[in-house]
């Protein structure tokens, strides 16, 4: 029998979704949750919590549990480390980790990923467990993007590419060619809340295009970690912001519970566009 999979869990619904997929395939797994970043756990799954200050001890524990594959799932922002909690073995890793914590999220995640690999684990992406989370290109909703929406999405894609190159964010809202908001450390919900609060003053033509929220991975991102994610709640937030729809890069954005996400978009009159990456045919 193949070794266990460990889900290194952060906030959000993704870890539970992946756990269900593993259970459905009768694949053994454990969930190791980052302390302070509790996952959504509606199924009451058994979860072990670990502190980042004791990362090396986690490696030992996972080896003892027969773990061979690691999948990172869920949102984790850079925490403040408590020096008094750091064990001697983890302290040996700090000279490599600490300088990267002062950089962008991608740099920090790459460093953590490398540590797992050097300790003998295989690191896989969420789509290796649940390939249905990466839908094919197209528009699965009844509403469809118009020419103005497509132009706004293209403008947003350029903005996200520029932000991603600076390791800043993975989303932007554009309406009538104007950037209303970009995603930064507070995340998607905070960005869309800003649009709710300011949208009336930002759209020059009240009867014009309502705007598009676009989400895409960063350029050259290691797609095994930190892929952007949307779901039904994203659609609801976009509707509150008065947007016409949501566009995501095909192959680069996880869509949690695709059927429910599409149904919610249909109910609210928004489109969901699984948009081919820029430069593809």
- State pLDDT tens for residues 188-200: 888 999 888 876 5
Q: Which among 105, 130, 155 is the end of a domain?
A: 130
- State pLDDT tens for residues 33-84: 988 889 999 999 999 999 888 889 999 999 999 999 999 998 877 667 777 8
Q: Which among 99, 130, 161 is the end of a domain?
A: 130
Q: Are residues 138 and 270 in the same domain?
A: yes
Q: Is residue 196 part of a domain?
A: yes
* Residue ranges in the chain assigned as alpha helix (H): 14-24, 55-64, 88-91, 94-101, 105-118, 147-165, 188-202, 232-240, 258-268
Q: Are residues 85 and 167 in the same domain?
A: no
Residue at token pair 């706004």: 152
Rounded alpha-carbon distances, angstroms, from residue 69 to 36, 113, 119, 124: 23, 12, 11, 7
Mean pLDDT of the chain: 88
Instruction: Report the CATH number at residue 141.
Output: 3.40.140.80
Residue 132 has pLDDT above 50, yes or no: yes
- State pLDDT tens for residues 94-129: 777 666 666 555 666 777 888 899 999 999 999 899
Q: Are residues 123 and 182 in the same domain?
A: no
CB 275 within 8 A of CB 245: no
User: How would residue 281 be classed by pLDDT, with cut points 50, 70 and 90?
Assistant: very low
Q: Could you tell me the residue range of the domain that residue 168 belongs to?
A: 134-275
Stretch 219-227: mean pLDDT: 78
Q: Pull the structure tokens for residue 64.
A: 């003892």
Q: Are residues 100 and 12 in the same domain?
A: yes
Residue 5 has pLDDT above 50, yes or no: yes
- What length is written for the chain? 281
Number of neighbours of residue 87 by Cβ within 10 angstroms:
13
Instruction: Report the CATH number at residue 110.
Output: 3.40.50.20
% residues pLDDT > 90 (the chain): 58
Q: Are residues 108 and 214 in the same domain?
A: no
Q: Are residues 45 and 123 in the same domain?
A: yes
Q: Is residue 281 part of a domain?
A: no
Longest dimension (CA), the chain: 62
Q: Are residues 54 and 113 in the same domain?
A: yes
* Number of domain units in the chain: 2
């Amino acid at each position: 029998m193949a070794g266990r999979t460990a889900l290194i869990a952060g906030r959000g619904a993704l870890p539970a979704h992946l756990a269900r997929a593993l259970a459905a395939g009768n694949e053994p797994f454990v969930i190791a949750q980052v302390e302070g970043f509790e996952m959504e756990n509606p199924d009451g799954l058994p979860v072990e919590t670990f502190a980042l200050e004791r990362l090396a001890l986690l490696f030992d524990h996972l080896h003892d549990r027969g773990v061979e594959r690691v999948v990172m799932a869920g949102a984790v922002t850079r925490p403040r480390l408590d020096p008094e909690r750091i064990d001697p073995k983890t302290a040996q890793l700090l000279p490599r980790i600490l300088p990267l914590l002062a950089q962008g999220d991608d740099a920090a995640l790459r460093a953590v990923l490398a540590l797992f690999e050097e300790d003998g684990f295989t690191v896989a992406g969420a789509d290796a467990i649940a390939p249905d989370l990466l839908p094919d290109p197209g528009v699965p909703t009844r509403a469809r993007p118009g020419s103005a929406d497509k132009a706004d999405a293209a403008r947003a894609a350029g903005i996200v590419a520029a932000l991603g190159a600076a390791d800043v964010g993975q989303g932007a809202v554009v309406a009538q060619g104007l950037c209303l908001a970009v995603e930064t450390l507070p995340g998607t919900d905070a960005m869309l809340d800003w649009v709710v609060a300011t949208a009336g003053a930002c759209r020059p033509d009240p009867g014009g295009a309502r705007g598009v929220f676009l989400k895409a991975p960063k350029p050259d991102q290691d797609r095994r970690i930190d892929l952007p994610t949307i779901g039904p709640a994203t659609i609801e937030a976009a509707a509150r912001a008065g947007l016409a729809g949501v566009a995501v890069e095909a192959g680069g954005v996880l869509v949690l519970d695709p059927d429910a996400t599409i149904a919610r978009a249909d109910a609210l009159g928004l489109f969901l566009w699984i948009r081919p990456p820029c430069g593809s045919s």
